[in-house]
Amino acid sequence: MDFIKRTWAEIDLDALDYNIKSIKSKMEPEHKVMGIVKADAYGHGDGFVARKLQAGGFDWFGVSNIEEGMSLRNEGITKPILVLGYTPASCVEILCQQSITNAIVGIEHARSLQEAAAAANVVVEGHIKLDTGMTRVGFQTDDADFDQSLKDIIEVSKMPNVKITGIFTHHAVADSYTGDNPDFTRMQFARFDKMVTALQDAGVHVGLRHCANSATTIAYPERHIDMCRSGIITYGMLPSSECEGMIDLKPLMTVKSTIGLVKHVPAGSQLSYGRTYTAETDRRIATIPIGYADGYNRALSNKAKMIVHGKYAPVVGRVCMDQLMIDVTDIPEAKMGDEVIVVGTDGDKHFTFDDMAAILGTINYELPCVLTKRVPRVYKENGEIVGIVDHVLHQYR
């Protein structure tokens, strides 16, 4: 297979296989695992990733919204799918037709689902979402709201057109082991257990219990319960630097580009919009066809670096919409058409999403997610291209 080599992202499916084995080695055989493939598999492409996870023995898939769930079905995913967030009651027929489970995020949501499902003469399946401290969505479990939430969930369990098949929560700081964060995480554990026990004592069948996100999966094995949710670790990245050494992973994505032009610029030359970079001496400057329209953040201007022929080349001047410049003065062999590693590793040189996140003051999760559809995803196994997704050319091979 061939593709236009402007700027692209290579997805290493062998690395995904490696991560699957590493993740499952952290779990007991009886524990199920849910692959979190929301946001187009964190920007990696949900079709190829989810099919590999399904073949690798993952039991469930987690998505952000019903459209993502429908996309997985179109990609040949047959395993159960859970929408982790709110789904409008108007979607109950689609949920049932597509065999997609939705999160039940509150009593008003449950009542609207019951009304819509009854009108459509269907039974919609849902996992009860508990808010144990994230304060986002879910039935509240703090002391002040516990009794009312218990009463509300019991009401849901008696709805004829809503079937509870699971219960879950999400941890806010399970990736941090400093200060009072571990205490907060343990408080979330306790709130979850208290509600589950109270529901079971009331005769409610809660179904699958799951609270382990990526950080909990690798740091708190006692909290795997019935199922773990594998998110960022699936893609070979850690939830935080505090998780270093807890699991062996390989990054899936390498972002590459090419040199479009190399020019000599004399000392005193000013580069790009705003003239924010001035060459102190004569320099060789290469133009790279990647910019913020591809998801390369403008705040990386004059701060990031790329790798050319195994050597670092700093980004100089402001990042433009479609192009940027790097200094290749110390790489005399650099020429037009040469490959550039934007994010990735070459020998002992690396510039990762973690490195980029440190510059931007954000987290590694964000950066592959914002890589735009203009950047083709190129899938490789055993060093060979096995698939290409190019949304601009509408090519899905």
Q: Which residues are annotated as a binding site?
A: 136, 321
CA dist., res. 172 & res. 137, Å (int): 12
Contact 288, 257 (CB under 8 A): yes
DSSP sequence for 20-39: HHHHHHTS-TT-EEEEE-HH
d(CA 369, CA 9): 12
Look up residue 391 and give its two tokens: 């949304």
82: which 2 tokens? 């859970």
> What's the one-letter identity of residue 9?
A
- Cα–chain center distance at 193: 27
Contacts of 206 (CB under 8 A, 6+ apart): 128, 164, 166, 167, 196, 199, 200
* Helix (H), strand (E) at residue 195: helix 181-201
Strand partners, 167: 128, 209
Q: Which of 71, 17, 7, 14 is nearest to 39 (CA)?
A: 71
Angle at 155 between CA 153 and CA 161, to 5 degrees: 105
38 in catalytic set: yes
* Binding-site sequence positions for substrate: 136, 321
As a whole number of angstroms, the distance between CA 355 and CA 182 comes to 26
Count CB neighbours of 121 within 10 A.
Answer: 9
CA distance linking residue 132 with residue 125, whole number of Å: 22
Write down the catalytic residue from 21, 151, 263, 273. 273
Active site residue 194: no
Are 247 and 26 in contact, with CB atoms under 8 Å apart? yes
Strands 162-168 and 208-212: parallel
Residue in 32, 38, 129, 256 annotated catalytic? 38
Residue 358 corresponds to which amino acid? A
Q: Which residues are catalytic?
A: 38, 273
